[in-house]
Amino acid sequence: MDPDRVRYTADGTRDAVLVDSIPLADLWFDHFHWRGVSGVYFFHHVPTDRVYVGSGIDINRRVREHVKGIRSGRHPNPIVRSVCRKYGPSGFHFGAAEVVPEDSLATRELSWIRALWAEAPAGFNLASPDRLDPFAAGKWYVIRAPDGCYSRVRSLSRYCRDRGLNQGQLASVARGESRHHRGYVARLAAISWNAWLRRVPKLRHPHSEAGHVCLDAHAVIRADIRAGRAV
């Protein structure tokens, strides 16, 4: 079903999407057919008719996280927490809207947010879909490999796993807490390289204890910016 047609039809198509969902009490994750599936998912709070739309490379894992937050009353979304306090967790239903390849998740998520009226105040999604950036912080990273190639990455865990890197250390680089990880430099796509350079600690010593030259991330990125290679 095309999400761009859902919102504007008069035949109850939005309701047809939402009704094809599973009550929270009936979710059995051990036999979940969304495990390992990349795509767009949603949850619908039936008593208030509010909808949340999200996306992920593993719908099963993302739904698990939402269910845990709803059941504990500690969901990161303040509107969801408020609804949980008032109605309890029993009114939530979960569903998969569309199976989507990883590189198209952001754009399809925006389409479904509009289609299912998920933006606040009518829904649970706090940011307006017209203002959402597909490369928003926490969802996309820009990474410079040791060979000088730049990549936009949505799944930091997969990127690190494929290259034998430590995800925690590369995430620390992206937050500006470290200069680099094995020659890889990363930042959140929502900030500029210049903003990242202001955060990252500067080198105190040009050489490591072993006598090897350390990567000066500041010099590398600034040279790439001047050459037009940094994105």
Kindly state the average pLDDT of the residues 170-175.
85
Residue 5 or 24, more confident: 24
Same domain, 17 and 107: yes
Q: Answer whether residue 13 shows pLDDT above 80.
A: no
- 33 located within any domain: yes
Q: How many CA atoms lie within 13 A of 22 on its CB side?
A: 16
Q: Answer whether residue 5 shows pLDDT above 70.
A: no
pLDDT for 135: 41
Same domain, 69 and 8: yes
- 123 located within any domain: no
Q: Answer whether residue 24 shows pLDDT above 70.
A: yes
Q: How confident is the model at residue 7 (pLDDT cuts 50, 70, 90)?
A: very low
Kindly state the average pLDDT of the residues 89-102.
88
User: Hey, which of 79-88, 181-190, 196-205, 214-223 has the most confident mean pLDDT?
Assistant: 79-88
Tens of pLDDT, residue by residue over 39-75, are 899 999 999 999 999 988 888 888 888 999 999 988 8
Same domain, 91 and 181: no
pLDDT for 156: 84
- 191 located within any domain: yes
Residue 93 or 175, more confident: 93
- 197 located within any domain: yes
Same domain, 64 and 158: no
Same domain, 108 and 12: yes
Q: How many CA atoms lie within 13 A of 138 on its CB side?
A: 3
What is the residue-averaged pLDDT of the chain? Answer: 77
pLDDT for 139: 63
Q: How confident is the model at residue 4 (pLDDT cuts 50, 70, 90)?
A: very low
What residues are paired with 143 via a beta bridge? 151, 186
- 80 located within any domain: yes
Residue 202 CB neighbour total at 10 angstroms? 9
Residue 40 or 189, more confident: 40
Percent of the chain with pLDDT over 70: 78
- 131 located within any domain: no
CATH of the domain at 205: 1.10.10.10
pLDDT for 202: 61
Same domain, 28 and 101: yes
Same domain, 109 and 174: no
Number of domains present in the structure of the chain:
2
**Residues in CB range of 157: below 8 A, 6 or more apart:** 167
- 120 located within any domain: no
Tens of pLDDT, residue by residue over 108-127, are 888 888 888 888 888 998 86
Q: Is the dihedral of CA 113, 115, 119, 124 positive or negative?
A: negative
Query: What is the residue range of 59's domain?
Result: 3-115
Kindly state the average pLDDT of the residues 135-155.
76
Same domain, 99 and 158: no
Q: CA-to-CA distance for 167 and 179, rounded, in angstroms?
A: 15
Please give the helix or strand (H or E) that residue 108 lies within, else none: helix 105-115
Question: pTM here?
Answer: 0.55
Cis amide leading into 3 (omega within 30):
no
Q: CA-to-CA distance for 24 and 90, rounded, in angstroms?
A: 7
pLDDT for 138: 46
